[in-house]
Structure 1
Amino acid sequence: MTDCIFLIGFMGTGKSTIGQHLAAELGYELHDIDEAVVAREGRTIPEIFAEHGEAYFRRVESETLAELAERPLAVITTGGGAVLAAANRELMASRGVTVCLRATVDEIVRRVGNDPNRPLLRAEQDGLRERVERLLRERDGLYDFAEVHIDTTGKDVQVITAEIVDHLSNRTH
């Protein structure tokens, strides 16, 4: 197979959930960037944003990604904004297979609407849907480097996992 499988995509597209199932299916180690940043910093992501700002968080996120990308046989789930740094995109493209998970705006809003750990969605006074749409526009094209693109809207976790495993199996032939 491959050393690292990176799951990227906008918040609420299913990276954490799919990552758990994919790692179990493949017998790989699972590493969640957001969890690793929280463990490293000793505080929540909203606290990091509040105390140090987004630029600081993005730097720590990039450092953590680089460290985790050195691990063999790993599924690495990234935060939705990990693709903002060109160096992160280049690292993921060079270290393994990158899978981009997507979902409709309605599905994203449904999944993240009540999640207090999404500081970028609480950053402004406009509605959640408008903020999601604006962030998606700002990140347009940044997920395109991924080798695999899967829409998770309305799909079962096992189906999505099977699609990824099928792609991984077919790329070695």
Structure 2
Amino acid sequence: MKNIVLVGFMGSGKTTVGKLIAEKTGMPLLDMDSMIEERAGKSINEIFADDGEARFREYERELAKELAAMEGQIISTGGGIVLNPENIADFEKTGLVVCLLADAETVLDRVKHDTSRPLLAGDKEAKILQILETRKPLYESIKHRIDTSGRPSPAPTAQEIIDLYETNKS
């Protein structure tokens, strides 16, 4: 059974939608950022501060290879997973990769009180606009995309992904 791999910018709904898909399908949800924190023994903020973003991306790459080799999982990735094309290539071999999109206004609304995102330190709005612009072509290169901007509930997005998964199971 294929994996369902959720990618997209921070605040696009990967974890929330992943939890709903897990509830509806009974498939386990694996959150990459939480797994990296557990393995490193520190928060993502601490990894960035102590070891740098490059080390975080190494942890992310190692875990992506490991999870891509599994089956029947829902994998919620970190927003920067797309920075290394090998991550997406590996996930596409064993799973349905769906990119959740959200406009800058929606992202800012969803993460404005979140202090656990090291890339947003300082002027959150400016950082969101800058990072979104940089990653936009990477997100748009993913075959299956769903825009979550302005959706009042994550439930329809979860159902859309389940339907897509059922259609693309083989």
TM-score above 0.5: yes
Q: 2:135 — aligned with what?
A: 139
Aligned to 1:103: 102
State the shift of 1:172 in Å: 5.0
1:166 is aligned to 163
Query: How far did 1:140 drift?
Result: 2.2
1:50-96 CA distances to partner (integer Å, 9 max, x unpaired)?
Answer: 00000000000111121122222100000000110121121112121
Q: Does 1:45 align with 2:44?
A: yes
Give the letter aligned to residue 34 of structure 2.
Answer: E
Q: Within 1, Cα distance between the matches of 2:27 and 2:69? A: 14
Q: Which residue of 2 aligns with 1:63?
A: 62
Q: Residues 1-173 of structure 1: matches in 2 within 5 Å? A: 2-122=1-121, 125=122, 127-155=123-151, 156-171=153-168
Question: How many positions carry a matched residue from both structures?
Answer: 169
Identity between Structure 1 and Structure 2 (%): 37
Once the 2 structures are TM-superposed, how far is the Cα of residue 147 of structure 1 from its aligned partner? 3.1
Assess if the C-alpha contact under 8 Å between 2:96 and 2:168 holds in 1.
no
Could you say which structure has the higher helix fraction?
Answer: 2
Contact 1:89–1:145 (CA under 8 A) maintained in structure 2: no
**Structure 1 regions of 5+ residues with no counterpart?**
none
Deviation at 1:30, TM superposition (A): 0.8
Residue 29 of structure 1: how far off its partner (Å) = 1.2
Q: Is the contact between residue 93 and residue 145 of structure 1 (CA under 8 Å) also seen in structure 2?
A: no
SS of structure 1 residue aligned to 2:163: helix
Aligned residue type for 1:41: A
Is residue 104–residue 153 contact of structure 1 (8 Å, CA) maintained in 2?
yes
SS at match of 2:126: helix
Larger displacement relative to structure 2 (16-25 or 42-51): 16-25
Cα deviation, residue 103, structure 1 = 1.0
Cα distance in structure 1, aligned partners of 2:127 and 2:62 = 27
